[in-house]
Chains A and B, each alone.
Chain A
């Protein structure tokens, strides 16, 4: 445990944000560590080539209990005693996406185990194809943030496989997505391969996790034999969508697999060209769409005509927020439910998710995003191209239709917007040569991969990072209920760190109570209070961990309303504020205040205080036109209140957000 002064958490010495020339790939230590394994070094070249200019090495000083140390010790011949902890950790993070336990029965993505099942279910449909994409990564922890967890187990269980990675696995997190389009698909298949290892999903998770690496190993051993046959497929299929140059490049790494490290440079340069070409074309597209402004009567009328949901505009709107939609809450739900069986254009699973959004049964950025993607996956599964139509066009339109339905139910979060952008891109880039079933399975595996890599595994990485910032005796403050913060706290608790948690909550959602339930059930020492008392509790707090709905390009953190207050007070008391946010939630938009873009919740919940029947002063508030109730959902935290953003690419200052957005969004379009 490192025992430094609390204020030096973010030691600039260890954070290098800068541009690394594309040829100058992974730190030398890494390539030296695997000199004998030809295949993994070619992987390395691949990863090196696509390594994007931003390199944020994880804090190497990270204490003895953090992830890097484990990796370090893995590199050394000394066996690791800490195995049980490691194994457990892999399972915690997945656990907390379920928005509310009560729902477990009904929503598509529910309990952790079911989530896993779902993933495996879907990927079972994928025909087994080449594994070149990811297979190497099993050996090579550093190329995948994602695989780090399993990596560890693998090493612990004595799997070996040449995974000597003295550097932390987080350094070159980008590799996953950096692989050109074709191999993406294969990676989707790999998920399936992984899941093959788990014969029965009902098995205990620890067993599962132990099972994975073994299976992986066997896959790796099998791979060289299969490779020659399978490598053909991706290159053929990639023809349509990707530029020729890219295609050549795809083949290269796979064919040169046995070549060794010297390949690195040429591949990198060709890669670089591709990178350079894309922005020129897409730059205009990159400018974010102007959002729908609801004070524009003309457009609102137009939107209404298309709408599935008949929403009635709320009365007594707040003047400042005319540009945001606000409907009378609860009026649409029965209407929609009755429509459930008529569903003309809507897929039932999308419909269901929409209803869950509407009723608030699913909330939270990740949960909503995953629910939406799984619903789309279902929809794609059941999709068949109508005659005389092209799959790419028709499916895009369909998805667009679903999305607008979901927007009517509840405005999209930025994370969902990014996921949709990703999906549409994947559809648009589908090679024309693919048959319908192939295209569908490609998309389905793409979605799986997105959920897995961008959310589930990204969360694990963030947890690993964040836990290095928790020390014994800390008092950690969190606000509302963030799934990622919850994972961090539980993981730190499992590591045996001694700390206290202050859960700050606010009306009207009182999400903090749900978090409190989970933490107390695990035996964490908690303090609960409302946001008003934040100045009172802040004295004893040593760290503030906050979740975020999105991180915008100017470093503004867009999150649950009240986050800004917490960050401000923490800043006033000189307590470091750590924002935990997956990189897929980053967005290139900029925002200075919380008013230009926001979401309005149901104002009625403000007038009622649960458990306080004496408070009905605002009983019939809508009757008086002078009185308005405003229920903001989000607010924007200025970047100067934020000490650090912990993301799957490492720990960065808020000023580095645009770099991440610019450099990594490209591969978003790409995956």
Chain B
């Protein structure tokens, strides 16, 4: 336990100091951290899932509080919670099946005491899920309890029935093992989402296309490179993305791949957009309403694209899907960075002094990190699960998150 706590503290500190930035890095780190939290979590005899969920929530709360703007952290915490619930559900389902097969068996206390409530809860949850899960004619026609059996993750093999009679130690390890397995899959997903996104590149980029992108996003880079590898020839305008100027890096990488690249200043976006066929940008997070949190300046690009009827495409891995609906995102989901990016402190330092002029300095320097692009400006999301409309995002989110986890907060009663 202590070493986990140390890990958590270390990560929290890194998040607070913005040592870890970028949704990919923070998502990965979060997943790995939660994995070790779960593996170190001592399992009680009863309500194992609840214990895991509590532990994850406790850590997740800290992580989210450390950098509330880094939405990927919260996303991964919720994903892990969702995984635990799913695994719990499936193991309960198999237990029920086992129960049905060997009726009146000497199951352990959990099976005995929580038998009926567990069954009904599982049934209800499954029912709730089945409404969100891919509806098939069968689930529509058949009864609810039976549908609960249908979503069986592959991780819980058929041999679980045999093991259901084995001792509790094994069972508790089983759930943990499954959850860790699933988290490993999640980490793998996060790592490979670029490839899955970029596989779709050829479907969207045609010959002689002129593409505008903004700043640097790894997903965008992979996307463009993938199209280039399929021998599409196209031209890319890269807006440099002040004040981080990551566009320079992207331009260098693209040129390394042999793509015709032109670097423009951010202010020239409107001037150039009339000659652009498509805007492809990365995102910091995709909100549940289809809005996008992205590096500062992208709203301007999106507006310009809308003006010239240029498709505005956002490519992002599914770990950037955030189940929250934004409220005043320009302010609440934003980070104000140091003014030194924009102005030299030497020149204006006396004007920025809060001590003079009655507490409010003469000069304010605003250097936000993110922009919010409303869903109506986005033409298409390309995620690792395919292309989606902004209006469909809420549905994607239902696949990845359970509604109970939207607010990550430990229950005060426990």
Contacts and interface: CB of A to CB of B under 8 A. Distances in A.
Contact of B252 (A318, A528, A618): A618
A75 interface: no
A617 B249 contact: yes
A632 B251 contact: no
A372 interface: no
B35 to A, nearest CB: 34
Nearest to B308: A593
Nearest to B377: A572
21 contacts: A506-B267, A507-B265, A528-B366, A530-B243, A531-B267, A532-B300, A535-B330, A561-B265, A564-B270, A565-B269, A569-B303, A594-B270, A594-B272, A612-B245, A617-B251, A621-B263, A627-B252, A631-B265, A632-B265, A635-B267, A635-B270
Nearest to A529: B366
B263 A606 contact: yes
Given A528-B339, A536-B366, 15 more contacts: A506-B265, A507-B266, A513-B347, A528-B363, A529-B342, A532-B242, A534-B300, A536-B296, A593-B271, A607-B263, A617-B251, A630-B268, A632-B268, A632-B272, A635-B271
A516 to B, nearest CB: 7
A478 to B, nearest CB: 14
B362 A526 contact: yes
A627 B251 contact: yes
Interface stretch (B198-206, B253-261, B379-387): B253-261
A552 B121 CA distance: 71
B160 to A, nearest CB: 53
B245 A609 contact: yes
Nearest to A534: B300
A624 interface: yes
A520 B300 contact: no
A536 B371 contact: yes
A626 B260 contact: yes
A536 B368 contact: yes
Interface of B: 235, 237, 240-243, 245, 248-249, 251-252, 255, 258-272, 274-275, 296-297, 299-300, 303-304, 307, 330, 334, 339, 342-344, 347-348, 351, 362-368, 371-372
A508 B263 CA distance: 13
B255 A595 contact: no
A638 B266 CA distance: 18
A539 B330 contact: yes
Contacts of A564: 270-271
A434 interface: no
Nearest to A527: B364
A70 to B, nearest CB: 30
Residue among A528, A537, A615, A621 having the largest count of chain B Cβ atoms under 10 Å: A528
Given A527-B363, A532-B300, A565-B270, A627 B330 contact: no
A595 B364 contact: no
B271 A629 contact: no
A96 interface: no
Contacts of B243: 530, 532
Residue among B235, B237, B263 having the largest count of chain A Cβ atoms under 10 Å: B263
A561 B262 contact: no
Interface of A: 318-320, 505-508, 513, 516-517, 520, 523-537, 539, 561-562, 564-565, 568-569, 572, 593-595, 598, 606-607, 609, 611-612, 615, 617-618, 621, 624, 626-632, 634-636, 638
A234 B36 CA distance: 97
Main secondary structure of the interface of A (DSSP, over half): mixed
B271 A595 contact: yes
Contacts of A319: 235
A529 B248 contact: no
Contacts of B365: 527-529
A351 to B, nearest CB: 31
Contacts of B249: 617
Contact of A528 (B265, B304, B307, B342): B342
B351 A520 contact: yes
B304 to A, nearest CB: 6
B293 to A, nearest CB: 12
Given A562-B267, A568-B307, A535 B343 contact: no
Contacts of B330: 535-536, 539
A190 to B, nearest CB: 43
Nearest to B306: A572
B131 to A, nearest CB: 38
Nearest to A479: B267
Given A506-B266, A528-B342, A536-B334, A627 B296 contact: no
B265 A318 contact: no
A568 B271 contact: no
Contacts of B235: 319
A617 B364 contact: no
Query: Would you list the 7 A-B pairs with minimal beta carbon distance, nearest first?
Result: A562-B267, A532-B297, A594-B271, A635-B271, A506-B267, A535-B299, A564-B270
Residue among A319, A507, A523, A627 having the largest count of chain B Cβ atoms under 10 Å: A627
A634 B240 CA distance: 18
A635 B367 CA distance: 24
Nearest to B371: A535
Contacts of B258: 626
Contacts of A635: 267-268, 270-271
Contact of B263 (A534, A537, A594, A630): A630
A346 B21 CA distance: 58
B252 A617 contact: yes
